[in-house]
Amino acid sequence: MSGGTAFPLSQLVYLATFTATAQYKVVPNMPFSTLNTNPDYITINEITGGFGLGGTTTSYSKHFFGFTSINGYQVNKNFIFGADTSVKLNIL
């Protein structure tokens, strides 16, 4: 057995465990909601990052890091419109 198969298998086990334990059962009399249901200005910020899985021969394909900010208006609990700005850095 080559050493190359241990990394993807361990990642698969990690992701399966994370997915199985991240499930949250919603109580029927208290539905799950992460956003305010009132119309208002919103901002959603997120940090992203990752590493190259496929062809990583080019210098910018090994790792990346980024920040995204979404600004908009929430019309109701089901509809939001807005625009985002983001910065992405490719790390060698």
For the chain, what are the domain ranges? 3-91
**Lateral strand order in the sheet of 79-91:** 40-51, 63-76, 79-91
Q: Is the pTM of this model over 0.85?
A: no
Cβ pair 46, 65 in contact under 8 A: no
Q: What is the pLDDT of residues 12-35, one digit of tens each?
A: 787 777 776 666 665 666 665 666
> Residue 67's pLDDT is what?
93
